[in-house]
Amino acid sequence: MSTAVILMNLGTPAEPTASAVRSFLRDFLSDPRVVEIPRPLWLAILHGLVLPLRPRRIAPDYAAIWNRSADGAPVEGSPLLYYTRRQAELLQEYLGERRADVTVTYAVTYGRPNLETVIDGLRRQGFESFIVFPLYPQYSATTSAAIYDQVAQIYRRSRDIPDISVIRDYYRHPAYIRALANSVREHWQKRGAAEKLLMSFHGIPKANVTKGDPYYRQCCETAECLAAELGLGGDSWQASFQSRFGKAEWLQPYTDKTLVEWGESGVASVDVICPAFSADCLETLEEISVENRANFLQAGGKEYRYIPALNLRRDHIEALASIVAEKLPARCHH
């Protein structure tokens, strides 16, 4: 029986315009997994404040990253969607050389192509076995669980339920850690090592962790594994959290405040890597590469370098392949 592997990432506006951003944010921020504020209150805030104001404010940020990668090479449209599609194509090539019974494609949690449409199309082609692979190394209810919800909805609406498994996380998988470490070492070979390495993870509200979300612990373990793989001492690296939204307390230390403190305290150079992101996107290409660079330099820092996400690196595709291989059914030998 053939198996379809579906790589999944968050999603993106269809184009870098206020109307497209509004449509994407409406879909994304309406998910109870993403925002856990009581529904009536949050929906009033979302439709009364966020959707009327935020799309116009951030559409230029999307326009700035459209067709652009971290290393300056052109990409097609949204970097996140481009990388997700290319990761699926490269993983197909890699696995296809070893497993003729595996097909790889992609979907997004919000926007298009969505999971249900992709699975429907594959079932029409005869597939009955699916591995859904969220490209979130660290599990969080705000990201990975939303994909589990979509899988559950497919089950709820189907009489003939297909065989679906979900890869929950891979935050300390040796091949993933090795790919991260290789990307840092190659950066150091070209540029030299900075005084400090900042590992910036996407933040979530602290209350989510208090309620049982394992994301913070998994981020810390990823950071510790990467530091150990690189042989870094305790004062030469730090984990931090970016992209907070709203007035609630989020996971700390905050990336932007950490960089300002380092700049003010005399740290001259910093390398920044974002291990929670499998592909470069708005939060890395704009928030990390542009906004936080300015924060650090304005605070007195001298040199700020962003180490791109793993994107289309060969060792990243090999890591994804080794993670998938652990889930694939054994082949029958006649």
Contacting residues for 142 by C-beta, under 8 A, at least 6 apart: 33, 34, 204, 208, 213, 215
Mention every residue, 6+ apart, whose C-beta is less than 8 A from residue 231.
none
Task: Indicate if 165 and 182 belong to the same structural domain.
Answer: no
Average pLDDT over every residue of 164-179? 98
Indicate whether 334 belongs to any domain.
no
Shared-domain flag, residues 9 and 130 = yes
Q: What is the mean pLDDT of residues 189-195?
A: 97
156 & 182 share domain = no
Residue 90 belongs to a domain: yes
Give the pair of three-digit tokens for residue 275.
């291990």
- Binding-site residues for Fe(2+) sit at 202, 283
Residues flagged as binding site: 202, 283
Q: Are residues 193 and 150 in the same domain?
A: no
Q: What is the tally of structural domains in the chain?
A: 2
Beta bridge partners of residue 105, listed in sequence order:
6
Domain identity same for 302 and 180: yes
**Nearest to residue 162, comparing CAs of 121, 133, 125, 119?**
119
Please indicate, yes or no, whether residues 123 and 248 belong to a single structural domain of this protein: no
Domain that holds residue 99: 3-170+315-325
| Whether 272 and 292 share a structural domain | yes
What length does the chain have? Answer: 334
Same-domain check for residues 254 and 219: yes
Residue 99 is predicted with a pLDDT of: 84
105 is a domain residue: yes
The CATH number of whichever domain residue 217 belongs to comes to 3.40.50.1400
Higher pLDDT, 68 or 59: 59
| Same domain (yes/no): 50, 65 | yes
Is residue 69 one of the residues assigned to a domain? yes
Q: Are 138 and 277 a contacting pair, CB within 8 Å?
A: no
Instruction: Tell me, yes or no, whether 331 lies in a domain.
Output: no
Q: Average pLDDT, stretch 66-86?
A: 91
What band does 331 get if pLDDT is binned at 50, 70 and 90?
Answer: low
Please give the pLDDT value at position 158: 83
Report the alpha-carbon distance of residue 117 to residue 130 in Å, rounded: 13
Q: Per-residue pLDDT tens for 109-138? A: 999 999 999 999 999 999 999 999 999 999
80-118 residues labelled b (16+ CB within 10 A) or e (exposed): bbbbbbbbbebbbebbeeebeebbbbbbbbbbebbbeeb
| Residue 123 belongs to a domain | yes
Same-domain status, 193 and 144: no
Q: Are residues 45 and 161 in the same domain?
A: yes
Mean pLDDT of the chain: 95
pLDDT over 90 for what percent of the chain? 88
- Provide mean pLDDT across the span 267-274: 98
With H, G, I as helix, E, B as strand and everything else as coil, classify residue 5: strand
Q: What is the pLDDT at residue 334?
A: 41
333, pLDDT greater than 70: no
Indicate if the pLDDT at residue 273 is higher than 50. yes
Q: Are residues 7 and 152 in the same domain?
A: yes
Q: Is the pLDDT of residue 235 over 60?
A: yes
